[in-house]
Amino acid sequence: MIHRLSLVLLLVATGCGAINSVPVTDASTATDTATLDARADGATDAGVDAPRDMNVPEVVADSGCPAPRTLTPADLPATGFLAPIRARFIRAVDGDTAHFAIPITGEVDVRFLWVNTEESHGTETTAFGVATANWATATMPTVGEYTLVFQASTTAPTQPALDMYGRRLGLVFADNALWQTRLVRDGWTAYYTDFGCAPEPIHTTLLNAEAEARANRRGIWAPGHPTDYAAVFTRWISNRCRPNPFRNQAYCTR
């Protein structure tokens, strides 16, 4: 077994240095009908391990950033989102989409904002995408309580924003903690910003979560992962509201 100190020395090279602060965009910049499914083109190798399943991943290497905050609905900006609503989990579609039941409306299909897991259906399916969907299917029912916060429509601010498939765009809180943080921190997805960065404090939290996952080589950051995330980031970071680690742009300053 490799000693912990040896692991630190081996992995510390993936940590972050200092850069200037990264501007963020308001949540309202995401269009109501924009599809959030610009997925990673990748190999379909089955030989890739999923991240370990745990509430707080073990930190082996220092990312150079603070640990991500535990965000609750009370931490969200005053504008850009609808009021939090309790929900009952029904089923996971894949790693970034699930069905919930909410009062009055009933069953709704929710696309999770600012994450984008690999595909588990269709022509772009990857082995890791299937593993992610299986993990979500097994793990999401174990949560005690869900709260959903939908992004507000830019054209009808009292209504939820929808993507082109009619899915509600939202933040998911599992037992009062932002689920998107866990997805990024555990390495199931990177922080997805093709349609704009999240407002603060979500933006910095997801950056710090991604920095930790990358430094510790979890999930999509594991050596030998078949999807080329350097190419993925070239597509995803189109508006330059966040750093690109594949261009030696560090995540943060402490």
Tell me the pLDDT tens digit for each residue of 55-102. 556 778 999 999 999 999 999 999 999 999 999 999 999 999 999 999
Q: Looking at the predicted structure, is the pLDDT value of residue 23 above 50?
A: no
- Residue-wise pLDDT for 6-20, tens only, equals 433 333 334 433 323
Query: Alpha-carbon Rg of the chain, whole angstroms?
Result: 17
Say if CB 183 and CB 115 are below 8 A apart: yes
- Provide the β-strand partners of residue 171: 149
DSSP letter for 81, please: B
Distance, in Å, from the CA atom of 222 to the CA atom of 63, rounded to the nearest integer, reads 15
Distance, in Å, from the CA atom of 236 to the CA atom of 164, rounded to the nearest integer, reads 18
Q: Looking at the predicted structure, is the pLDDT value of residue 34 above 60?
A: no
Q: Looking at the predicted structure, is the pLDDT value of residue 38 above 80?
A: no
- Provide the β-strand partners of residue 98: 92, 110
Calculate what percentage of the chain has a pLDDT beyond 70: 77
Other C-beta atoms closer than 10 Å to the C-beta of 176 total 15
pLDDT of 22 reads 34
Q: Which fold is adopted by the domain 4-247?
A: OB fold (Dihydrolipoamide Acetyltransferase, E2P) (2.40.50)
What are the respective helix, strand and coil percentages of the chain, to the nearest 5?
25, 20, 55
Distance, in Å, from the CA atom of 98 to the CA atom of 92, rounded to the nearest integer, reads 4
Secondary structure (3-state) at 87? strand
pTM (predicted TM-score): 0.80
Distance, in Å, from the CA atom of 124 to the CA atom of 29, rounded to the nearest integer, reads 27
Distance, in Å, from the CA atom of 161 to the CA atom of 166, rounded to the nearest integer, reads 9
